[in-house]
Structure 1
């Protein structure tokens, strides 16, 4: 209520969205939908702050909706859209902005290994202004580098933190992007695990060699004892035969 006691009626802002999505491949049809109150009688669509189209609403069930169609998405139709509606002689507040993005082409993402470093190489057939690198599953913002048709993202000394799946895309401006690239999976071996495994294998190898050496020593000792026993048994037999022959001569 204003100071003079007159009630000012303000219409709520409409809802705006796009079908099939806000990211549209180049040349694809897209519809912009605007929903106001059930009493709305007219809708206006604004593109980049300028009036673009006007429509009468359609009643879809309990919803009062106006539909604006773009037959083929292009970089010229990509940008920020808003809509308003009229009820009697009153116009609503503008809707929240809808940013339509056109996509096209597909960059190539590859690995370029170096000495202890990895570079992710992105190339695109048409010139762009900015390249973005996304790591799946990360909540942080994507990395970006400025380039034309090719750019490298240095990963620095490689650690297990770099392990994951990456995608990239090129951005011509805020509303014109390329398609995402095919995913590239980066596998990083945990060197600490390998070192621990190597140490265990070395210990096992040394233990095996010690065991073999002990077995050889035991076998040699057994063989030596056996030979000594055989020599002792041979000497005893000869002594017995000598005594037997001596006894026979005495008896004669």
Structure 2
């Protein structure tokens, strides 16, 4: 009995600590950029940060340093704020994170948001070999060339779900693909990069046309895996971030509380059952002892009578 009670008390303590930890550290906020994470030089961009409905203050950090702070105009109603950047430049390109304060507690940092400025310096040229019109199953190679000294190139297929490829080269880089399928159809551009967040002007678009020959062995894939592939800039929309992070925390806390209450209920039922069984055994033992005593006295009385 003591060992079971000890286990239940330990579980209760653990669950209480989990609930208290949820209360001590608010969940991390969500951060995103509109209209995109790749912004031409001089164009505006807005960074959004979303916390919980109890948020009273937000902070935006750029490259690890405090950049701006903002308070919701209607606390308790709005759970997100915006940090506008009027004109994108190389000095505003980089990695951003945001925090929020609920009461006296600051949240964990958001996931990193990498903003890229494009339209810097020269324009690269992009070509595709053996040509822009191929049949499914062939191998193609995109070649990006830029005279300005750079060693990093990115190839991007237009589309909201696109991820840039990264390759290295002195004045040019090659991006092999294949065997291609109809999923590779689309318009491609390339960039030269002066660092991960400062890119050149985009190249002129190159449209790849892939004719389907009906080979069932060719499974359409958006990209061929490559050790040099790189996708920190997943293009997303604001609608993907409308879920309040607090709801998830409340659900977890409620589950923990329900679990704790269930364990306490089980412990009480077990204790009541043990007490009932103990009383029953005691009563049975008392009755048995009384019966034996009566028999002993009866036998003694009969012996005396004889």
Indicate if the aligned counterparts of 2:93 and 2:117 stay in contact, CA closer than 8 A: yes
In 1: Cα distance, 2:141 partner to 2:55 partner: 56
**CA-atom RMSD, angstroms?**
4.1
In 2: Cα distance, 1:147 partner to 1:159 partner = 23
Give the deviation of 1:183 after TM superposition: 2.8
Which residue in 2 is equivalent to 1:151?
172
Cα distance change of structure 1 residues 25 and 61 upon mapping to structure 2, 3 Å threshold: farther
Q: Which runs of 5+ in 2 are unaligned?
A: 1-11, 131-139, 212-306
Displacement of 1:59: 3.8
Aligned pair count?
185
Distance 1:146 1:60 in 2: 48
Q: In 2, are the aligned partners of 1:133 and 1:143 still within 8 Å (CA)?
A: yes
Q: Look up the match of 1:22.
A: 37
Q: Could you tell me which residue of structure 2 aligns to residue 58 of structure 1?
A: 73
Match of 1:170 in 2: 192
Q: Distance in 1 between matches of 2:99 and 2:68?
A: 11
Bigger-Rg structure (1/2): 1
TM-score for both structures, normalised by structure 2: 0.48
Tell me if 1:35 matches 2:63: no
1 or 2 for the larger relative contact order (CA 8 Å, sep ≥6)?
2
Q: 1:97 to 1:119 in 2, by over 3 A?
A: closer
Is 2:98 the counterpart of 1:83?
A: yes
- The aligned runs of 1:204-215 (5 Å cut-off) are none
**What is the rounded CA distance, in whole Å, between the counterparts of 2:64 and 2:13 in structure 1?**
30
Partner SS state of residue 48, structure 2? strand
Instruction: Identify if the C-alpha distance between structure 1 residues 21 and 4 changes in structure 2 by more than 3 Å, giving closer, same or farther.
Output: closer
User: TM-score by structure 1 length?
Assistant: 0.57
- Whole-angstrom CA distance in 2 between matches of 1:154 and 1:179: 18
Q: Equivalents in 1 of 2:89, 2:158: separation in Å? A: 28
Would you tell me which structure has more strand in proportion to its own residues? 1
Change (3 A) 1:127 1:41: same
- Structure 1: state its 5+ residue gaps: 190-252
Q: Is the 8 A contact 1:44 1:85 kept in 2?
A: yes
Which is worse superposed, 63-72 or 89-98? 63-72
